[in-house]
Structure 1
Amino acid sequence: MARPRNQAERRAQLISATAATVVELGATATKLRDVARAAGVTPASVLYYYSDIQELFAAVFERSAATYFVSRQEAIATADGPVARLRACIRSGVPWPGEGEQSTRLLFELFPVALRHENAAQRQRDFVEQQADLYRQVLELGRDSGDFVLSGDASTLGRSFVALEDGYAMDLLVGSVTAQDIEDQLLDHARVVTGNTAFGSGPARHRED
């Protein structure tokens, strides 16, 4: 294959093909030839841009994490006030059926790459820190406005939300909870850590909505 004029475009094409293949087959079953087939190129062409499948997986993880984070930022930015912003932060982290569940599945499939690829490991650390910081900002906003009486340090509480999201997401991917279950559990956690009764699952929550 001749060298493409736009290498960034070719890399993006390979990343998209890899992401689709990983969602379909799983990361452990995805081979270089599968990616090449999905992208409509030869395995040698893939290796022109990425040294091996692990480097390509790392690139997919980086793009997926960045896209996921930006979508959360946008969801929070459109909400008005601390309560609405925390709800938006929670809702944007739930793997709802469709695109949300698919993007979460992709990130979980690729997580083992971070255990063996330092660039991916650093991106994973940054990804977690970025999401925890979203929660920290919203929690501090509510604390400063008087809407929240926090049960602990905002940074620590923010990290706890992310840890809960990850655990519940795994439960969803193996079929033991639904996306609505996850949102309800996280809203209950929000009520406990903020002292604000606007949060919580069940009829009271929906009346507040």
Structure 2
Amino acid sequence: MSKRLIIGISGASGAIYGVRALDMLAALGVETHLVLTKAAELTLASEGLPSSAALKERASFVHKIADVGASIASGSFKTDGMLIAPCSVRTMSEIASGVTSNLLTRAADVQLKERRRVVLMLRETPYHLGHIRTMAAVTEMGGIIFPPVPAFYAQLESLDAVVSQSVGRALDLLGVEVKGVKRWGEDVGPV
């Protein structure tokens, strides 16, 4: 089986991260299972990104947010992990509590119970203590909190390059190597 990843897009700003992840994974032949929240569909439009219909064409499989009986809702459906890009605090909070209300958070809960990687590109700031405690809870469960912070050392020259670098680094955590990611000590910095 080739790599198989779940890609979730929640309603936080930064839907471009999920769009870019789908494009990068498609170029590598990775099987993707996409779940979009209702708020994500609104965010796509407000951020001038492809419509949800156009985005769904980029994924190998698309699952409806309300379909808690989908394949990705079961631990017996093998995957190599899950990326939620972007991840809202609400989505992260549902995952941390284990009380899920839709397929996106159910799929993340299943990945964690199966001890698979779950990477959350958390896109809200600043944080209050409740957010920090929630991040700690997800981390203690085995999830990875990955705010898309620019890698200034890479001397990236465009917003597009910053997005690609951030998504590439998040995909590293799921065992997917993307060409073009600038690495300290290899492409930049001391050699």
- Give TM-score, length-normalised by structure 1: 0.23
Computing the radius of gyration from Cα coordinates, the structure with the larger value is: 1
Structure showing the higher strand proportion among its residues: 2
Structure showing the higher helix proportion among its residues: 1
- Give TM-score, length-normalised by structure 2: 0.25
